[in-house]
Amino acid sequence: MECVKKRASHSGVCGRYKMDLYLQIRKMGINMKTKITELLGIEYPIIQGGMAWVAEYHLAAAVSEAGGLGIIGAGGAPASFVREQIQKAKELTKKPFGVNVMLMNPEADEIAKVVVEEGVKVVTTGAGNPGKYMAMWKEAGIKVIPVVASVGLAKMMERAGADAVVAEGTESGGHIGSATTMTLVPQVVDAVSIPVIAAGGIADGRGFAAAMMLGADAVQMGTRFLVAKECTVHENYKQKVIAAKDIDSAVTGMSNGHPVRQIRNKLTREYLQLEKEGASLEEMEKLTLGSLRKAVVEGDVVTGTIMAGQIAGMVSKEQTCKEMIEEIMSEAEKLLKL
Amino acid sequence: MECVKKRASHSGVCGRYKMDLYLQIRKMGINMKTKITELLGIEYPIIQGGMAWVAEYHLAAAVSEAGGLGIIGAGGAPASFVREQIQKAKELTKKPFGVNVMLMNPEADEIAKVVVEEGVKVVTTGAGNPGKYMAMWKEAGIKVIPVVASVGLAKMMERAGADAVVAEGTESGGHIGSATTMTLVPQVVDAVSIPVIAAGGIADGRGFAAAMMLGADAVQMGTRFLVAKECTVHENYKQKVIAAKDIDSAVTGMSNGHPVRQIRNKLTREYLQLEKEGASLEEMEKLTLGSLRKAVVEGDVVTGTIMAGQIAGMVSKEQTCKEMIEEIMSEAEKLLKL
Interface contact flag, A182 B183, Cβ < 8 Å: no
Q: For B114-169, write each residue's pLDDT tens digit.
A: 999 999 999 999 878 899 999 999 999 999 999 999 999 999 999 999 999 999 99
With contact defined as beta carbons under 8 Å apart, do A186 and B314 qualify?
Answer: yes
Q: Residue A244 carries which DSSP code?
A: -
Q: What is the pLDDT of residues A147-172, one digit of tens each?
A: 999 999 999 999 999 999 999 999 99
Asked whether residue B52 is domain-assigned, the answer is yes
In a domain, A36, yes or no: yes
Examine the domain organization and report whether A19 and A93 are in the same domain. yes
- Give me the pLDDT at residue A31, please: 64
Chunked into runs of 10 residues, chain A (338 residues) has average pLDDT values of: 34 37 42 91 97 96 98 96 98 98 95 98 91 96 98 96 98 97 98 98 98 98 98 98 96 92 97 91 92 96 97 97 96 89
Closest Cβ–Cβ partner in B3, B12, B180 for A181: B180
CA distance B93 to chain A (A): 32
pLDDT of B212 = 97
Residue of A nearest to B151 (CA): A246
Same-domain check for residues B263 and B199: no
Chain B, 307-336: which have a CB under 8 Å from a chain A CB?
A: 309-311, 313-314, 334-336
Strand order in the sheet with B97-102: B46-48, B218-221, B196-199, B165-168, B143-148, B122-126, B97-102, B70-73
Residue type for position A329: M
> Measuring CA to CA, how many Å separate B26 from each of A11, B35, B204?
17, 21, 21
Q: Tell me phi and psi for residue B159, to 5 degrees.
A: -60, -35
CB B177 within 8 A of CB A247: yes
Record: contact A177-B247, CB cut-off 8 A: yes
Q: Is residue A312 part of a domain?
A: no
Those residues with Cβ within 8 angstroms of residue B75's Cβ, 6 or more apart along the chain or in another chain:
B51, B52, B53, B100, B102, B105
Contact B150 A247 (CB under 8 A): yes
The range of the structural domain enclosing residue B256 comes to: 245-307
Predicted pLDDT at B30: 44
Q: Give the Cα separation of A147 and B305 in Å (integer).
A: 32
Q: Pick from A8, A182, A214: which is nearest to B169 by CB?
A: A182
Contact B181 A180 (CB under 8 A): yes
Nearest CB neighbour to B213, from listed A14, A21, A210: A210
**Nearest CA-CA partner of B117 in B146, B147, B160, B79:** B79
Q: Does residue B237 lie in a domain region? A: no
Residue B238 lies inside a defined structural domain of this protein = no
Whichever domain contains A331, its CATH number is 3.20.20.70
pTM, to two decimals: 0.90
| Mutation to test the B interface, candidates A212, A213, A316, A335, most B Cβ within 10 Å | A213
CA A251 to chain centre: 19
pLDDT for A256 equals 87
Residue B150 touches partner A, C-beta closer than 8 Å: yes
For B38-52, the pLDDT digits (tens) are 999 999 999 999 999
In a domain? residue B239: no
Q: Are residues B178 and B220 in the same domain?
A: yes
One domain, residues A66 and A169: yes
User: Do A226 and A294 belong together in one domain?
Assistant: no
φ, ψ for residue B65 (rounded to 5)? -60, -35
In a domain, A238, yes or no: no
Same domain, B166 and B31: yes
The answer on A214 and A129 residing in a single domain is yes
Separation in Å, CA A132 to CA A137, A157, A161, A246, B164: 10, 12, 11, 40, 53
B167 contact residues in A (CB cutoff 8 A): none
Q: Touching check for B153 and chain A: CB below 8 Å?
A: no
Task: Return the ∠ at Cα A88 (arms to A87 and A89), rounded to 5°.
Answer: 90
For chain A, helix (H) and strand (E) counts, in that order, are 16, 11
> Are residues B213 and B298 part of one domain?
no
Q: Is residue A227 domain-shared with residue A260, that is, in the same domain?
A: no
Q: Rounded CA gap, A156 and A143, in Å?
A: 17
**Which chain B positions have a beta carbon within 8 Å of A25's beta carbon?**
18, 21-22, 25
What pLDDT does A276 receive?
87
A16 vs B contacts (CB less than 8 Å): 14
Compute, in degrees rounded to 10, the torsion defined by CA atoms B314, B319, B325, B330: -70
What is the DSSP secondary structure assignment for residue B319, as one 8-state letter?
B
A321 in the same domain as A272: no
Residues 6+ positions from A105 with CB-CB distance below 8 Å = A74, A75, A76, A77, A111
Q: Is there a contact between B42 and B69 (Cβ–Cβ < 8 Å)?
A: yes
How many independent structural domains does chain A possess?
2
pLDDT at A255: 87
Decide if B52 touches A, using CB distance below 8 A: no
> Can you list the residues of chain B whose pLDDT is less than 70?
1-31, 338
**Structural domain contains residue B236:** no
Mean pLDDT of chain A: 91
- For residues A100 and A187, membership in a common domain is answered with yes
> Between residues 270 and 289 of chain B, which touch chain A (CB distance below 8 Å)?
276, 278
Contacts of B34 (CB under 8 A, 6+ apart): B1, B45, B195, B217, B218
A79 and A167 housed in the same domain: yes
Distance from CA of B312 to the nearest CA of A (A): 9
